[in-house]
Chain A
Amino acid sequence: MTQDKRSWYVLSFEHFEKSLNGLSSGAIHAVRKSAIARFAELGFPTTHDEEWKFTDVTPLKGVEFVPVLSYNSDGLTVKDIEKFLPKNFVCNRLVCVNGHYSEELSSVLSQTQRVKMGSLAEAMRTDGELVSAHLGQHARFDENAFTALNTAFVNDGVFVSIPDRTIVEDPIYLLFISTALDTKFVSQPRNLIVLGKNSQASIVEAYASLSDNIYFTNSVTEVVMGENAIIEHEKVQEESARAFHVSRTQVHQGRDSNFVSNSFAFGGSLVRNDIVATMDGEGSEATLNGLYLANGSQHIDNHTTMDHAKPRCNSHELYKGILGGKSRGVFNGKIFVRKDAQKTDAKQTNKNLLLSDHASIDTKPQLEIFANDVKCTHGATIGQLDEEQLFYLRARGIGAEDARTMLIYAFASDVIDRVHVEALRDRLHNVMHAKLGEGTE
């Protein structure tokens, strides 16, 4: 039918349907069916598509990735995953293996009758109404083939529900592990996080791998925030060097809510992150920060959208990239101010450090403003290390290599230090140290 394997996924879907054995709930399965139909129409994007102009997914299209349909621990124990967790970290640990929730590897501290966290598959059975009310309602699949593909195979992932007036003190750590399976597989976790009014949580999404094989992660996370809710969300992507990683984070914010995201992209060969914050309540605020570090032939694409839907919302954004070798970065920062969103205040900054002559970055602010009383600023920089600063450090006895490392590190710390979860911040500093130790050429 086509060259881009869409028929492969349609066939896989038929296989998936059979495996469900009529266990799926009707409403959700109807969504799956329309999602696979939409995926078959859309096919994977090409660089003719404006949203994918700088990111060519041809290498991903060429592989028949097998969807992982059920949970298998693959022999993992808690010990195996310890290295992916910050040290001395008290948290609610929710682990997925190849996209499926693992009861045995997870450890939930803050569960009460009202605070729920665990598997999405389980929640579809026990909290069907709540799940149906939100799943797929925010991360729409009509125009995004990857979201359509994820939605077609919706089966498991993490579900977090925090009721009104509840503060969850311990961070909620979502760990997505890929293992070394015999086949080239795609894991498609689907996460749903729902916070009631006046609630607060800090949530970490971490992606890691125990394998050097080629695999594909295609994740979608929907976050729904009630009035005056507060979330700090961190994403730490440390996929293996040959992995494909496509992720979407879709946030729907109620009145006076505050969403902060710090996104770190370290791993993967071809990476695309989409994060959308829809400020759909007056006085809400969104902060999107990011750090991407690429080397060799890595390609890391960050697309962010600040969707100002209501008046008096503020958005702040700082994305920083460090690109060495022949790596390529893409940053597209969209600020969308709808007609009603008067008194919008939006600020966007993208800074890039190119460490080699062969590294490159495409950076693009994209402002679409339909209100007339707004304040929007944006700026992008691309540069090398500052010669004056290097000389200053060297003139105090610091070696040339150490001086370079010190400056790159300072550039990155600017984002890392915005993470409030202390144990994670320490871990990120360690990851950066190790990465810089490997060299950045």
Chain B
Amino acid sequence: MLEIINLHAGVQGNEILDGVNLKVNVGEVHAIMGPNGSGKSTLAQVLAGRESFNVTEGQVLYDGKDLLAMSPEDRARAGVFMAFQYPVEIPGVSNTYFLKAGLNAIRKQRGLEELDAMEFLKLVKEKAKLVEMEEGLLNRPVNHGFSGGEKKRNEIFQMAVLEPRLAILDETDSGLDIDALRIVADGINKLRGKHNAIILVTHYQRLLNYVVPDFVHVLVDGRIVKSGGKELALKLEEKGYDWVREPVELNT
């Protein structure tokens, strides 16, 4: 489904990704771990279409199509979703209003009927339960006045409503207390399925106790230096990132 080939990217001439290669198949959950500043978030944002990063080399194929040539909205409509590490507050735009606009744009792309207000409300209530999101938050302006945990939960709630084929969760676990982490992880597990794929970008192994990945990759200095199964995360937790600083060949 997703194929990243020798991806180089950076910001203002400063190279952050230094040749990333990764292949994700439908039904798989991949975790990308790495120390701070290794380029994890850059990778997530480049995949979502953030324009402040320049891709200088390489290719990303999504269902065989050139993902990097697509606008952020076209990527979303094609089923790519990124849960933001720092969800932005948008005063004056209600959570449900904006999500309905997004969902209907995506449905239109998929050749589905747009949902009317009643159908949408029903869907939203159902999905809110999934992440134990208070209904009161639904009609509030997007992330406005939300606590850190509520913002992260709102990201997973949006993922539940939009039902992406490829979800990239950018440090969705950071800053969450253990109860909130459990709720968010439960939500992710319920959304995990045969017809989609998830990339978990995380600094800590903690989330992976709850959402067990099929593959773990370690990103250091803009390159994936080690890949393995879920046990790799435990080893990293035990030995720290210095252990993998030595680059090794990637087997996929």
- A residues adjacent to B (C-beta < 8 A): 386-389, 391-400, 402-403, 406-407, 409-411, 413-414
Contact = CB atoms under 8 A, between A and B. Distances in A.
Interface size class of B (residues with CB under 8 A): 20 to 34
Contacts of B118: none
Contacts of B91: 410, 414
A414 B141 CA distance: 12
Contacts of A399: 73, 105
Smallest CB-CB A-B distances: 4 pairs: A410-B92, A396-B102, A397-B76, A394-B72
A426 to B, nearest CB: 16
Given A400-B71, A400-B73, A402-B101, A395 B88 contact: no
Given A400-B71, A400-B73, A395 B90 contact: no
A396 B71 contact: no
Contacts of B105: 397-399, 402
A410 B90 contact: yes
Contacts of A393: 90, 93, 98, 102
Contacts of A402: 101, 105
A395 B76 contact: yes
B137 interface: no
A396 B98 contact: yes
Contacts of B99: 396
A400 B162 CA distance: 18
Interface string B71-87: 11101110001101001
A388 B109 CA distance: 24
A402 B49 CA distance: 17
Contacts, number: 76
Contacts of A386: 88
Given A402-B101, A406-B101, A397 B162 contact: yes
A96 to B, nearest CB: 35
B1 to A, nearest CB: 19
Given A397-B103, A397-B105, A413-B92, A406 B98 contact: yes
A222 B92 CA distance: 34
A397 B87 CA distance: 16
Given A387-B52, A391-B72, 11 more contacts: A388-B88, A392-B88, A393-B93, A394-B72, A394-B73, A396-B99, A397-B73, A399-B73, A399-B105, A410-B90, A414-B92
B98 A398 contact: yes
Contacts of B103: 397
A414 B50 CA distance: 28
A64 B63 CA distance: 69
Contacts of A398: 73, 98, 101-102, 105
6 contacts: A393-B90, A395-B75, A395-B76, A397-B73, A397-B105, A398-B102
Contacts of A407: 90, 92-93
Nearest to A406: B93
Nearest to B91: A410
A376 B38 CA distance: 48
B92 A397 contact: no
Contacts of B87: 392
B90 A392 contact: yes
Contacts of A387: 52
B106 interface: yes
Contacts of B96: none
Contacts of A403: 73
Contact of A395 (B82, B92, B142): B82
A394 B71 contact: yes
Q: Which of B77, B87, B90, B158 has the largest number of chain A CB atoms within 10 A?
A: B90
Given A389-B88, A400-B71, A395 B48 contact: yes
A386 B77 CA distance: 22
A440 B26 CA distance: 42
Contacts of B93: 393, 406-407, 410
B57 interface: no
Contact of A394 (B52, B76, B141): B76
B72 A395 contact: yes
A409 to B, nearest CB: 8
B51 A391 contact: yes
Nearest to B141: A410
B114 to A, nearest CB: 12
Contact of B102 (A397, A400, A413): A397
Contacts of B109: 397
A389 B87 CA distance: 9
Contacts of B48: 395
A411 B142 CA distance: 14
Interface string B149-192: 00000000010001000000000000000000000000000000
Contacts of B88: 386, 388-389, 392
